[in-house]
Amino acid sequence: MTRQSLWLAALLMTCLGTLAAAQSPQTAPATDAEGPTAAAPGFEGLVRALPDGNFDEVEALVSAIAETGDERATGVLEALASGDLHRLKSNEAVVIVREIGGDDHAFDALSGESYGEIPRRGSSAIRVNNSLRRVVAAAVGTLTLRHPDPARRLEAAQAAFRAPDAAQTDALSAALDAETDPDVRTALAEAVAVATLTAGTAPVPTQLDAIATIAARGDGVALSVLTPLTGSDAPEIASAASEAVDRIERVRQMWSAAQNVWFGLSLGSVLLLAAIGLAITFGVMGVINMAHGELVMLGAYTTFFVQEIIRNAAPALFDWSLLIAAPLAFLVAGAMGVAIERGCVRFLYGRPLETLLATWGVSLILQQTVRSIFGPNNREVGNPSWMSGAFEIGQMTITYNRLWILVFALAVFAILLFVMKRTPVGLQMRAVTQNRAMAANMGIRTGWVDAMTFGLGAGIAGLAGVALSQIDNVSPNLGQSYIVDSFMVVVFGGAGNIWGTLAGAFSIGIANKFLEPWSGAVLAKILVLVFIILFIQKRPRGLFAVRGRAVDG
Amino acid sequence: MTSLIDRRMGIFLAGLFILTVAVPVGNLGLEDRLVPSYVVSLLGKYLCYALLAVALDLVWGYCGILSLGHGAFFALGGYAMGMHLMREIGDRGVYANPDLPDFMVFLNYDALPWYWLGFDMFWFACIMVLLAPGILAFVFGWFAFRSRVTGVYLSIITQAMTYALMLAFFRNEMGFGGNNGLTDFKDVLGFDLQSDATRAGLFVLSALALAAGLLIAKAITNSKLGKVLIAVRDAESRTRFIGYRVEHYKLFVFTVSAMMAGVAGALYTPQVGIINPGEFSPANSIEIVIWVALGGRGTLVGAALGAILVAAAQTLLTGWFPELWIFALGALFIFVTIFMPQGVLGVIEGTFRRRPPTRDLTAAREARP
């Protein structure tokens, strides 16, 4: 043994030791863990005994090694599991074999001392089977419980929870006593509880405590642990378990209701966006705009177009693409709206049914134009980074894109409300709505106001398109799929009332999502449609009808 | 009281009669087939559309009910007939099951759903062709008219109705063949549906149904009841205040119209060879309206003419320039509503009837709430 090779080995130990068990099973024993501690008595003996046992004996040895808590144990056990723990034929030493530069090098399992390069047949691997590998994995898990890094300890505790092993109870309890980090303590306590319950041999009060610990988790995992216990032979345990199961079920039902409300709000926000522009043209102006869905589609295609340009010209701006697209979409759809109003709707005021037909014609033309230009297939619109992903509240998952769309819908609603109630344009719009002739006499250019109102409604449809491009397929048929729904929202909420549209959108959205679990998506939609049809019979002017004195509405 | 067959109606019926004689003769009677077989079915299809348009004109043109759901009644009639034709296939289907249609075997049905019972009998299917759309229209109309849902609101909920039905019929669980609908028909009353003679027969039947539909609609509109309908169209509240039960009149004409649409659907299915949920789509129903608007609202004959014109234009244009058809249809919608409120018939006849008061542009503008 040269001085040089000893130095090399020492260097290796220190470098790899820091990486320790986390990185690969072929690392050397950790030597720098919480300073040098005295090897537990028997560790070396146990390791030396490994090559001689049959599988059962080795399993026992592995458990014993883990129990020693020796810091070298992880490396040895991991090497064993990966088949790198060998016995040298020359001196019977137990070594860890590692490949360095294509050659096998042996390192003493106990001292870490290098034996240098060894010939192919100079050692024999200690054989392992799958059952042994499992035992080793569990043992390593226990050992990791004492790892200096709390994150690793937490991971280990959670692993022990997922694969409960009665034999580990003591090791877990010991780790729990030594633990200081609160998160890890909770995880460990739960792991101990599961191990206790799996064994089922502990005294009843201990088991009851364990049930309480698990029940505190309150999730599906706790449920799957506790449910088998409701059939336990001991009556106290069975009753405690079933009580806990009931409680968890109740909490879970609450959460799933909350989740449904969230889904409903999310659907509602989409409906609101799609319908609110319609609420202006239909509700305020009394004009049926069947091309509304196509204006939404134009907004979505504007987003696509903006993203294409950004992808090719300035990829760094991609996260801003929606913010750039939104005003553009408003302008594109709004301009188209003004064009529709000036080009066709204005000849048809007072004849709502004819307007419906003419705008349907416009919608066909817009649809076919987009189909001719962009093709009939779905176009890919990307999510900016701040709209991807999700977070959890309790047992609810909330995706960022849905959340932003909700925020966006409410913001659009608020802005619209502001425009209608607080700006001169809004004042004129309301004046024309209430009494066209009088408004004209007061000097309001009603034709201009009509065009602006229609343009505003159309522009908002364009904004809806920006939002919908994030969650729906951008295709020429995009608008078609929303037109019936948005009409339902406006009719349900009461035409001429923007607040009614808000209430209508969210109630339809939530009703839909609560029906879905027991009826399926399509049937839920049908039921909601039927409900609205019946509702209209009861209140022909919607939820919040604008009261008037005219006989023919 | 004008006569049942006025000049307009007389010319149209005469033309229809000539067509009815000429087409089958041209197809069957001559050696060299002046009229190819596919044209016979195509013309038969147009006549079904024409009957559907007459049905819509009856409610829209004369009673002011713009139904955007007439496609649903048409499709229901088509499905009722399709169900009979499915049962007629018997054990000649792919799975050779004597009772269950192929799609049911495929979807692991054990027995026929209860609502399929009786459809093996032709007379039962014929009754259902009338009853299924009729009952739907009656129930729907009873609710809608009683609570005075009118105008645009009615249009929108009729559209929602056909949309809901479309979604429902797309579901496999409904037992109507789901997405694929009903197809692969073999014969009707023992006549092979592929044979030229049967096709010609169906064509003649469609022509007769159209003529009958026109005459029934004309009889209704010519009667005293028809006058009340027109009054409802032009001033609903005034008619009500005078003492007429407006909702009864509307309900009657709506139900009759739905049944007429059902008959059109029933004749359409065997000639086209398939009926599927796409027929329920709101777009189809709106297209019916443009047929009527193009031909001339409130003229009956014009509606039939409009349907035939648009359908023929569609066949020709989609053949020549597939891309262009939708543009042409869209432009047609805009052009007709803005520049031709009287329709083709109005233009042809050059008779400029006075517009009903509620449709007067300036008056309506002032009256808007």
- The answer on pLDDT for A170 being more than 80 is no
Residue pair B305/B345 in contact by the 8 Å Cβ criterion:
yes
Give dist(CA B49, CA B71) in Å, integer.
10
H-helix or E-strand spanning residue B192: strand B191-192
The answer to whether the CB atoms of B369 and A553 lie below 8 A apart is yes
- The answer on pLDDT for A23 being more than 80 is no
Q: How confident is residue B362, by pLDDT bands cut at 50, 70 and 90?
A: very low
The answer to whether the CB atoms of A353 and B155 lie below 8 A apart is yes
Which tokens go with A477?
A: 């048929």
The answer to whether the CB atoms of A487 and B366 lie below 8 A apart is no
Residue B21 belongs to domain spanning: 7-367
- The answer on pLDDT for A487 being more than 50 is yes
User: What would the mean pLDDT of A7-22 be, rounded to a whole number?
Assistant: 48
Q: Average pLDDT of chain B?
A: 88
Residues in B closer than 8 angstroms to A288, CB to CB, are 152, 155-156
Return the SS3 of A1.
Answer: coil
Residue B2, pLDDT score: 62
Residues in A closer than 8 angstroms to B327, CB to CB, are 364-365, 368-369
Give dist(CA B360, CA A169) in Å, integer.
89
Domain count for chain B: 1
Give the count of beta carbons closer than 10 Å to the beta carbon of residue B197. 12
**CB of A353 less than 8 A from some CB of B:** yes
Residue A21, pLDDT score: 40
Greater pLDDT, A389 or B49: B49
- The answer on pLDDT for A535 being more than 90 is no
Q: How confident is residue A83, by pLDDT bands cut at 50, 70 and 90?
A: confident
Give dist(CA A521, CA A511) in Å, integer.
12
Hey, which residues 284-313 in chain B have their CB within 8 Å of chain A? 286, 289-290, 293
Residue A40, pLDDT score: 45
Of these ranges, A58-62, A541-545, B299-303, the one predicted with the greatest mean pLDDT is: B299-303
Which of A356, A525, A532, A538 is the best mutation test for B, with the most CBs of B within 10 A?
A356
**CB of B113 less than 8 A from some CB of A:** no
By Cβ distance, the residue of B282, B330, B359 closest to A368 is: B330
**CB of A533 less than 8 A from some CB of B:** yes
Closest CA of chain B from A307, distance in Å = 28
- A125 φ, ψ (degrees, to nearest 5): -70, 145
- The answer on pLDDT for B367 being more than 50 is no
Chain A residue with minimal CA distance to B151?
A353
- The answer on pLDDT for A73 being more than 60 is yes
H-helix or E-strand spanning residue B302: helix B301-320
Residue B254, pLDDT score: 96
Greater pLDDT, B18 or A159: B18
Residue A6, pLDDT score: 52
How many pairs of residues across A and B have Cβ atoms under 8 Å apart?
A: 154
User: What would the mean pLDDT of B361-368 be, rounded to a whole number?
Assistant: 43
pTM above 0.90, yes or no: no
Residues in A closer than 8 angstroms to B368, CB to CB, are 286, 349-350, 436
Residue keyed to tokens 């005075």: B148
Residue pair A94/A109 in contact by the 8 Å Cβ criterion:
yes
- The answer on pLDDT for A27 being more than 80 is no
- A200 φ, ψ (degrees, to nearest 5): 70, 15
Which tokens go with A328?
A: 């553009």
Residue B359, pLDDT score: 47
- The answer on pLDDT for A288 being more than 70 is yes
Residues contacting residue A63 through CB under 8 Å, at least 6 positions apart: A135, A139, A167
Residues in B closer than 8 angstroms to A529, CB to CB, are 160-161, 163-164, 167
Give dist(CA B349, CA A385) in Å, integer.
65
The answer to whether the CB atoms of A349 and B148 lie below 8 A apart is no
Residue A410, pLDDT score: 94
Q: Comparing A159-168, A281-290, B164-173, which segment has the lowest mean pLDDT?
A: A159-168
The answer to whether the CB atoms of A368 and B151 lie below 8 A apart is no
Residue B2 lies in a domain: no
Residue pair A340/A438 in contact by the 8 Å Cβ criterion:
no
- pLDDT tens sequence across A311-349: 888 888 888 888 899 999 999 999 999 999 999 888 888
Which tokens go with B249?
A: 């009149």
- pLDDT tens sequence across B3-33: 778 888 889 999 999 999 888 888 887 666 7
Angle at B289 between CA B283 and CA B292, to 5 degrees: 150
Residue A361, pLDDT score: 92
Give dist(CA B155, CA B149) in Å, integer.
9
Chain A residue with minimal CA distance to B241?
A551
Closest CA of chain B from A275, distance in Å = 14
Residues in B closer than 8 angstroms to A369, CB to CB, are 327
Greater pLDDT, B246 or A149: B246
Q: How confident is residue B165, by pLDDT bands cut at 50, 70 and 90?
A: very high
Residue B1 lies in a domain: no
Query: Counting runs of H as helices and runs of E as strands, what totals does chain A give?
Result: 21, 7
**CB of B156 less than 8 A from some CB of A:** yes
Give dist(CA A433, CA A495) in Å, integer.
12
Give the count of beta carbons closer than 10 Å to the beta carbon of residue A297. 31
Share of chain B above pLDDT 90, in %: 52
Chain A residue with minimal CA distance to B141?
A537
Residue keyed to tokens 């018939």: B345
Closest CA of chain B from A434, distance in Å = 6
Residues in B closer than 8 angstroms to A372, CB to CB, are 323
Torsion sign across C-alpha atoms B302, B268, B330, A347: positive
Amino acid (1-letter code) at residue B17: F
Residue B176 lies in a domain: yes
Give the count of beta carbons closer than 10 Å to the beta carbon of residue B300. 28
Greater pLDDT, A374 or B151: A374
**CB of B66 less than 8 A from some CB of A:** yes
Residue B77 lies in a domain: yes
Closest CA of chain A from B257, distance in Å = 19
Torsion sign across C-alpha atoms A524, A530, A533, A539: negative
Helix axes A169-178, A182-199, angle to 10 degrees: 160
Give dist(CA B362, CA B368) in Å, integer.
10
Residue A38, pLDDT score: 44
The domain that holds B205 is classified in CATH as 1.10.3470
Residue A16, pLDDT score: 46
Which tokens go with A323?
A: 């913010």
Residue A9, pLDDT score: 54
Which tokens go with B282?
A: 């709101």
**CB of B142 less than 8 A from some CB of A:** no
Return the SS3 of B369.
Answer: coil
Torsion sign across C-alpha atoms B312, B315, B320, B322: positive
Greater pLDDT, B135 or A230: B135
Residue pair A198/A167 in contact by the 8 Å Cβ criterion:
no
Q: Average pLDDT of chain A?
A: 81
Angle at B257 between CA B256 and CA B260, to 5 degrees: 90
- A107 φ, ψ (degrees, to nearest 5): -125, 135
Give dist(CA A173, CA A187) in Å, integer.
12
The answer to whether the CB atoms of A286 and B369 lie below 8 A apart is yes
The answer to whether the CB atoms of B330 and A362 lie below 8 A apart is yes
Give dist(CA B107, CA B103) in Å, integer.
6
Which of A344, A360, A482 is the best mutation test for B, with the most CBs of B within 10 A?
A360
Q: Where on the phi/psi map is residue A475: left (φ > 0), alpha (ψ -120 to 50), or beta?
A: beta
- pLDDT tens sequence across B88-135: 888 888 888 888 888 888 888 888 888 898 888 999 999 999 999 999
The answer to whether the CB atoms of B159 and A484 lie below 8 A apart is yes
Hey, which residues 500-529 in chain A have their CB within 8 Å of chain B? 522-523, 525-526, 529
The answer to whether the CB atoms of B168 and A526 lie below 8 A apart is yes
Residue B139, pLDDT score: 94
Residues in A closer than 8 angstroms to B332, CB to CB, are 361
DSSP 8-state secondary structure symbol assigned to residue A113: -
- pLDDT tens sequence across A109-126: 777 777 777 777 777 788
Give dist(CA B339, CA A331) in Å, integer.
29
Give dist(CA A333, CA A467) in Å, integer.
14
Q: Closest Cα to residue B311, out of B16, B53, B70?
A: B53
Return the SS3 of B177.
Answer: coil
Residues contacting residue A70 through CB under 8 Å, at least 6 positions apart: A39, A40, A43
- pLDDT tens sequence across A414-462: 999 999 889 998 999 888 888 888 889 999 998 899 899 999 999 999 9
User: What would the mean pLDDT of A264-270 be, rounded to a whole number?
Assistant: 90
